[in-house]
Amino acid sequence: MSANNECISPLTNLSEDEQFFYDTVKDFAKEKVQPLVREMDDEGTMNNNIIKQLFEMGLMGIEIPEKYGGAETSFFMSILAIEAISTVDPSVAVVVDVQNTLVNNAFLRWGSDHLKEKYLPFLANEKIGAYALSETGSGSDAFALAAKAEDKGDYYLLTGQKMWITNANEADIFIIFANVNPELGYKGITAFIVEKDFEGFSVGKKEDKLGIRASSTCELILENCKVPKENVLGEVGKGYKVAIETLNEGRIGIGAQMIGLAQGSFDYGLNFSKERIQFGKPISEFQGLQFQIAQAATELEGARLMVYNAARMKDCGMNFIKQAAMAKLFSSQLAQKIASLMVEVMGGNGFTKEFPVEKFYRDSKIGTIYEGTSNMQLQTIAKLLLKS
């Protein structure tokens, strides 16, 4: 399905093809991922066979053109895949998310023909990518990064350290941001394509996290990392545009992850409420709980429409920045709210690792932090409103 088919109305319901795709991915998550969720969470490791199956299903190159081995469908389809997997395990979903909404999108928009021909077939079929912007002193203030790139004629030497990089432990291809001229501030920032085996590059400490534990989050170490000049992504000194515009798209992906997470926890808690007997009847028959469930379902539907709307706007070539910020803000806040509610609905059971809602609750917190904190989304929304 081409992206043009999505341009009729940003808020249309799913087409037959879209619904089939969503259901297929969700079935895969239930059959193949769900049996491994607890083990992967406990060990803090992504199962290699799951990664292999993600590639086999074409979920790692959803927008990549067929000539490079991709599925050549729409951004919206990436969003559906992220949502569907997140109903079972947001850790696996973020692997798909970063690959499609950040790494692949950056190559498709900013990569030279040479870089596309060299790397997109690998990203579509066998190699994971990672997106390395953050540093210890550069989080919300993304352009305060300290990593440097020194021009050596035929190549650059990158020095510095990147922090909290998703997929870093499994990735072979990295988009790394460094400054070629710190005196120019953000106008010196440049995006580089770095391979895992490049001289001077290494993956450092793996973080021991609260949630999405199977998804690796690591530091990257650049010690005179030698990068060919042809591996500049976009223009020298224009890395800030690559970073900003790619993250705008990525925020829709996080929104999809959060609504999937919320749906997964909601479904489990709802089913439990129909089976849990107290005072002679299922707790779902108590009006106090019914009202909470109804409120949660209504807000979740609203969050889903916000995410879908932003994704369709992106596919249609519309300005979606405000909608993406709103979708990420609201869906990440709601994911925490619904996951917390479902822990309470399940009572003591919900507080144990025997049931999945406690994991959904832990996983939900990251949504308000990565790819732009909630405060940064509020700032973006406010600026755009005040400009209009």
- Give the residue numbers marked as catalytic: 371
What span, in angstroms and rounded, lies between the C-alpha atoms of 215 and 207?
Answer: 10
CB neighbours of 269 closer than 8 A, spacing ≥ 6?
341, 342, 343, 345, 346, 350, 357
Mode of pairing for the β-strands spanning 129-132 and 277-278:
unpaired
What span, in angstroms and rounded, lies between the C-alpha atoms of 101 and 253?
Answer: 6
Whether the CB-CB separation of 307 and 79 falls below 8 Å is answered with yes
Whether the CB-CB separation of 218 and 196 falls below 8 Å is answered with no
Whether the CB-CB separation of 194 and 203 falls below 8 Å is answered with no
Identify residue 248 by its one-letter amino acid code.
N
Structure tokens, 217? 């989050």
What span, in angstroms and rounded, lies between the C-alpha atoms of 91 and 47?
Answer: 11
Mode of pairing for the β-strands spanning 189-195 and 173-179:
antiparallel
Structure tokens, 360? 């959904």
Measured over the CA atoms of residue 77, residue 79, residue 82 and residue 83, the dihedral's sign is negative
Q: Give the burial class of 56: count Cβ atoms within 10 A of its Cβ; 0-12 exposed, 13-18 middle, 19 or more buried.
A: exposed
What span, in angstroms and rounded, lies between the C-alpha atoms of 331 and 340?
Answer: 14
Q: How many Å separate Cα 107 from the centre of its chain?
A: 16
Place of tokens 């596919």: 315
